[in-house]
Structure 1
């Protein structure tokens, strides 16, 4: 276990010093390049070389260095095959290379017109020609129906300037009038490259130079990148992988300005998106278990998250960083190891005290621990988890004793015994339950006293007596046939659900610690009262539905 913790701590240190700090300082560097858009910048000739060489040599060099073994450029699908979007990317790269005499012929049916204009001849099989003709018909229909720039459609047709056929006449004034303040055409790298080729606008050239300087290893589909968006995705990734406990300060820095800025309308695509949407709809927020959600998110991130681009999906590499995913797995597995160890201890404690063999009570030892461990985020080795789990087991069994086993006389006797905290006069199950409770409260009080030199014994006893007294009142109502008013029922019911018993006594052992006066029934904080009422109402709703 110690070696696993060492691996986790080393990965945390490494990621803080490399990945996370880089996301904070230069988030744009994690956006993957687009072969399609890089090819369009590579098509621009250098006027200082009589247009015989590319202006942006880094782009043509990127194309030469990033062709897949099979001869295409672009993305692979989950089976390792080129995606449909790799076709325009490949064709654009080949056109760029052919312009400078360094390419091989490839075909992409959507850009035949452009290919033919550059001298690339594409041979089609007869059965494909019909399909291509149909595509051209659909293309002409789109051009008739849509305007170049329409306020009701974004991105507009003009943002695909580089792909529009020569028959679609666009004058330079239209291009220049629609340039953004930064000189781009709708922040599209490819469309802006085509705009410069068509109009030669200095502002457009300045934008392209800035783009290449910022993205030295291939350009993205959109520039500038919404860096706040990338930071937000990173925060989301850390939280959903179950790593937020290790990156508190970094998340605070990443989040600092995110919510004060406008986030772009780019579309982030996650693998198995429909599966996630279905889960989000079916599993209510109150029923979520963080640890299980972390596992599902880790499994989903075996595939990379994608951001929807023009001719391809492009990736934000920091989100599926190998070390980040390794840390998430190590962290999850280490927590699992800790949880198994704690569950073994809880079962041992329950068996030693005979709680699993009471006969009348629900056996909920594993259930109680599962509910606590999977939904509460505490440090690895946390006594708090076991305190809450043991409390839940005790509450379940004592509540069942008051509901189903004890006579009214027995219940009154044990309630009085708890009030004076003395087991005299108790027998059978009543004595066993009191002795377990006495031992549990004694251990908690001793541990707290050893840590803080404060005696909380009386506070803990009063907390448990309050719960037991509420169970006695409800048992009396039930056994005598009394129907309380709604206000009386809720006043007692918010105590009998005993959520505050689990939470308040465990809060002593959190950092910063709780103070004894905070669990005095007459001085409960508003948030404690809301917790009690909410849990009672949720419990009743669930019971009614069942």
Structure 2
């Protein structure tokens, strides 16, 4: 709806008008549906009304206007339904455009009482006691300026203009400023945007970094990131470049900055916590739109990012962690967190990221996965068509991993029977628990050999420990130490009991097998290296008490 400067009769972006004429849906709407069944949502109503206004202003597409008004009339109940997901400030922006349309003489096929309901919701929005400070309310009112029009103080709004000329990276808010304040930088942003994208424009631009980071985060939480390792590396390389250049798309958005910092650090990128300094104090949240809206997601992202600190005294991250945790707990106690997000918040507060079991996290995330995507401020829905495919892939991979773990358990049980470890009545032979201890740090399916080696080592360590912890005689303990000392020449000594024979053969032959597998990978023999790690004890100075916690390393 932005006119050419100096001529209010011609559109500044005729290609956008042409796109509107060419892309109306069969039902009379413009936009995309969010739900799995393609149901109408508030995003579609908002975009349809905006397109109708644009066509009417430039006096084209009368049939398109008629069909658009009919669509809005048929689905007007969605606009006043408080249970439907909505873009931030919908009650202000939709009612503002509705008032403008009525002022132009457009007729909506709805009852007058329904239109009055929309205007009442607008007044409720203005009067409601939201969160945050007075600065947060000012930021919110600036954010929804396209719904205020001439009522807005545009000089105040331009204080939020970014380096790229936009207001909040929002094309609609920026277009409103270009109309009402004739700001050249705002117009330059819109010209750049339309030259890149043509006719249609997104709700937020640029938003590439946040969208891609959300995808990376989702793939990791669902346990399928290894299938997209190259793509993830490319995304994080690009994000790191933006971070190092201090680009506003990352640094001025609370959720994007926090998510970028956490993912970059977790993947080994050298990013300083100084980049998070603007959020070190609680006022950074209290003065923001997020506080006004009681928006939990950015707050949760900040809390998660504060957990990724490497220095004992990182005051920036410590401060962020302190105040964000306090606010999250307050939101929980006052039931201000949505039901869909509440389990994630409770889990994050209860378990620091370094104290979690990733396999169990994957399972919980799969169970809670929302195939309808995530909400972004200017849009009620920001999902992708791949959401269902992501869920299906994650479920299949989780089930496959379970089958791999079960095969490994059966192998360990057969290994225990092969070396007769189950005949050692004094010893703890616990293959299931040993395997579980290996799955926690080594959960990827491709690390099967490492998990088995870990589990075997854990079992043999427990067996030897039990021998030295009262399960064997002094003669058996001295005999076992001597056998380890001789290693390949153990035949020179012999076994004083069947228990010692079982234990030594299990350690010796299992070590040989592990060494053979390692040689295939490392292209060299590692048996001698492993054998050298076995401690050499002198029988004369040997004390069972001294070696109570003896461990066989390999």
- Is 1:343 matched with 2:402? no
Paired position in structure 1 for 2:83: none
Q: Which of 112, 132, 135 is 2:121 aligned to?
A: 135
1:281 and 2:239 matched: no
Give secondary structure in 1 for the equivalent of 2:514: helix
1:386 to 1:119, Cα distance in 2 relative to 1, 3 A: same
User: In structure 1, what is the Cα distance between the partners aligned to 2:128 and 2:524?
Assistant: 78
How far apart, CA to CA, are the structure 1 residues paired with 2:120 and 2:13? 37
| Alpha-carbon distance in 1 for matches of 2:503, 2:432 | 19
Q: Distance in 2 between matches of 1:154 and 1:467?
A: 76
TM-score, normalization: structure 1? 0.63
SS for the counterpart of 1:308 is coil
Of 61, 71, 74 in structure 1, the residue corresponding to residue 19 of structure 2 is 61
Conserved? CA contact 1:72–1:82, under 8 Å: no
Residues 1:427 and 2:497 aligned together:
yes
Evaluate the alpha carbon distance shift between residue 63 and residue 431 of structure 1 in structure 2; reply closer, same or farther with a 3 A threshold: farther
CA drift at 1:390: 1.4
Given the superposition, is the C-alpha separation of residues 180 and 341 from structure 1 closer, same or farther in structure 2, using an over 3 Å criterion? closer
1:188: Cα distance to partner?
1.8
Checking the alignment, whether the CA contact within 8 Å between 2:146 and 2:172 is kept in structure 1 is yes
Deviations along 1:17-62, whole A, 9 cap, x unmatched?
A: xxxxxxxxxxxxxxxxxxxxxxxxxx44578998477834446635
Partners of 1:336 and 1:289 in 2: CA distance: 15
Which residue in 2 is equivalent to 1:520? none
Alignment match, 2:177: 195
For the 8 Å contact 2:161–2:168, the answer to whether it is kept is yes
Query: How far off is 1:163 after superposition?
Result: 0.5
Unaligned runs of at least 5 residues, structure 2:
81-90, 257-296, 302-338
Distance 1:406 1:70, change over 3 A: farther
Deviation at 1:449, TM superposition (A): 5.9
Which residue is 1:212 aligned to? Answer: 194
Is contact 1:240–1:297 with CA below 8 Å preserved after alignment? yes
SS in structure 1 opposite 2:378? coil
Q: How many residues align?
A: 432
TM-score scaled by length of structure 2: 0.62
Q: Distance in 2 between matches of 1:358 and 1:468?
A: 26
The aligned residue for residue 148 of structure 2 is 164
Query: What is the match of residue 371 of structure 1?
Result: 437
Q: Measured at CA, do residues 137 and 230 of structure 1 come closer, stay the same or move farther in structure 2, by a change above 3 Å? A: closer
Partner of 1:255: 236
CA deviations over 1:203-243 (Å, ceiling 9, x no partner): 43332222123334632222233x44445444434444445
Higher RCO (Cα < 8 Å, 6 or more apart) = 1
CA contact (8 A) 2:34 2:381 kept: no
1:393 corresponds in structure 2 to: 459
Partner of 1:535: none
Select the residue among 441, 444, 447 that pairs with 2:511: 441
Q: In structure 1, which of residues 100, 120, 125 is the aligned counterpart of residue 106 of structure 2?
A: 120
CA shift, 1:365, in A, is: 0.9
